[in-house]
Structure 1
């Protein structure tokens, strides 16, 4: 029964997609960098716009896709990573994950990095996570059944100085992080994965 209800809702809101104007990268912190400057790749899936594997979704293992990027220059002191879906039938994109305090020496992340670390709100990858829609580490992709393909944006942001965590809540929100990076962005990259749940 729930499957039929979900499918009915998805067909009702089939055109409620594309909240791209509210993606994280459209914030004022990115005003000097309107286009990507960092090559962000997902070796296990393919180029940006490729279909995510079932194991990257809630239908499978729900693994965070492996991402890689070039070594930073001396200007970069820290990275931030945001995952979001602008195609959900909601006013703003769904935040699937916020990760900050990523060391400048990092050149990639994999699913293992997103396991809970020893300290509160810290992951095994050596960085912290903020608040998503469900209050967990990461929401695997799970678009409404029959709502068509959804795009999952993974945005890596290079910062000229670390985020001041004293100005963040214990579980940092996307709004707090957006404010915390004002004047600190020195570049960014983006990779988009696509996933669809079809009626079968």
Structure 2
């Protein structure tokens, strides 16, 4: 998209941001867990709300941030599987954009890095990290941040969810949608936490 067209769109859509009320963790599956209980950090990107370096955006290498997480003792031994959802609530659409939906993360895995998101078996939606990827708008496992130019700062929520029961492997290997995953985890959530990165693109 040419910069002048993109900037014009940004001006027209400047008030269409902040779909926080429709983020993944507001779904019915989280009714008993309204607050974060899992600590999520990023050793390469900094504290939550940090500005993402260009290598972590579509203008650079498009790398996924390294994430590490720790569950509280009360639930740590009960976790059977992890789920990761990344989304942008500031996109000028009716719903947040799903940048990534990753299910079937082994209970023993409490960190992820960029190489984990390389495709291992596309027919099973399986990644090299040993987990599955779901549907995104561009039919790729992960969409790196690329907010509209001059649309202001966009926030990218990386939500880690602890599950007490695994998601059906058949659903995961079929490249599930965010909505299908949201329905599949009702009654299975033990807790959740998130790390937030920010990104802004300015036409100079």
Report if aligned partners of 1:38, 1:69 keep a CA contact under 8 Å in 2.
yes
Report if aligned partners of 2:126, 2:173 keep a CA contact under 8 Å in 1.
no
Report the count of equivalent residues: 200
Matched with 1:84 is 87
Q: Measure, in 2, the Cα distance between the counterparts of 1:77 and 1:169.
A: 18
2:147 to 143, 146, 158: 143
Matched with 1:126 is 130
Structure 1: which 5+ residue stretches go unaligned? none
Shift of 1:169: 7.3
Matched with 2:158 is 154
Shift of 1:166: 3.4
Task: Compute the TM-score of the two structures, normalised by the length of structure 1.
Answer: 0.96
C-alpha distance after superposition, 1:112-139 (max 9, x if no partner): 1000114631000000000011111110
- Structure 2 residue 203 is matched with structure 1 residue 194: no
Q: Measure, in 2, the Cα distance between the counterparts of 1:94 and 1:118.
A: 25
* Change in CA separation of 1:56 and 1:197 when aligned onto 2, cut-off 3 Å: same
Residues 98-137 of structure 1: matches in 2 within 5 Å? 98-118=101-121, 120-137=124-141
Structure 2: which 5+ residue stretches go unaligned? none
Q: Measure, in 1, the Cα distance between the counterparts of 2:121 and 2:133.
A: 13
Report if aligned partners of 2:86, 2:99 keep a CA contact under 8 Å in 1.
yes
Residues 51-70 of structure 1: matches in 2 within 5 Å? 51-70=51-70
Point out the structure with the larger strand share. Answer: 2
Matched with 2:185 is 181
Shift of 1:2: 1.4
SS at match of 2:29: helix
SS at match of 1:6: helix
SS at match of 1:117: strand
Shift of 1:193: 0.2
Q: Measure, in 2, the Cα distance between the counterparts of 1:43 and 1:118.
A: 28
Residues 11-26 of structure 1: matches in 2 within 5 Å? 11-26=11-26
